[in-house]
Amino acid sequence: RKEVEQDPGPFNVPEGATVAFNCTYSNSASQSFFWYRQDCRKEPKLLMSVYSSGNEDGRFTAQLNRASQYISLLIRDSKLSDSATYLCAVNRGRDDKIIFGKGTRLHILP
Amino acid sequence: SAVISQKPSRDICQRGTSLTIQCQVDSQVTMMFWYRQQPGQSLTLIATANQGSEATYESGFVIDKFPISRPNLTFSTLTVSNLSPEDSSIYLCGHRGLYEQYFGPGTRLTVT
């Protein structure tokens, strides 16, 4: 099983819709969880950290399910500018290095 | 987070040669990292650049192929040696915040 797994997509979603991504991780010792956004030909940028209690930042909501070892990202009222690749990341646990999933491509359609 | 710059932003190199990538951070940081992102793939950690000691390499990456320097707390270099087309990739340096990872703009390497 890969350390971090994501559905690669692409997700083609009409503008204004709600879209959800899931990401599973294999190491139960992982303690830190993140969602990154990567635009074409750019570096990944931190979108939000994911806390145990779940957290929200505007249209974005992140949740953590430790029992099932997955994190999720919900985007409400999607905008054209949300089109990007979304990477989940977790710390490895044994040495705190951060490892990334392959990313999920999102296309918001006008 | 500290601002990270990388040079060069891109390069095209012939097989068998080497490329050295520079990473500069605008403030002192304890941990610096080098990642690789191959086409259509996610980021793979190459090594941790340690100031004053040898870099710590991940499984599958060796010092002879990817020598790293970290002369001070704001600067690091990664050399990709004996280039082959399989080394064509984006190479990103980064540093850690409290828990999260931040990245420089990346160096896009094409090996012909």
Q: Which residue of B has its CA nearest to A33?
A: B100
- Asked if B100 and A102 come within 8 Å (Cβ–Cβ), the reply is no
Query: What's chain B's length in residues?
Result: 112
Closest CA relative to residue A35, chosen from A82, A87, A109: A87
| Residue A63: half-sphere exposure toward Cβ, Cα within 13 Å | 10
In DSSP notation, A50-85 reads E-TT-EEETTEEEEEETTTTEEEEEE-S--GGG-EE
pLDDT, averaged across chain A: 93
- A chain contacts of residue B58, beta-carbon cutoff 8 Å: 97
Q: What is the pLDDT of residue B50?
A: 87
Tokens 């610096």, located at residue: B32
Which parts of chain B have pLDDT scores under 70?
A: none
pLDDT in tens, A47-75: 999 988 889 999 999 999 999 999 999 99
- Asked if A97 and B45 come within 8 Å (Cβ–Cβ), the reply is yes
Asked whether A8 and A86 are in contact (CB, 8 A), the reply is: no
pLDDT reading at A14 higher than 80: yes
- Asked if A43 and B42 come within 8 Å (Cβ–Cβ), the reply is no
- Asked if A49 and B100 come within 8 Å (Cβ–Cβ), the reply is yes
Asked whether A86 and A103 are in contact (CB, 8 A), the reply is: yes
Q: Which amino acid is at B58?
A: E
- Looking at chain A, the whole-number percentage of residues with pLDDT higher than 90 is 81
Per-window interface: A 49-108 vs B, CB < 8 A: 49, 87, 89, 91, 97-103
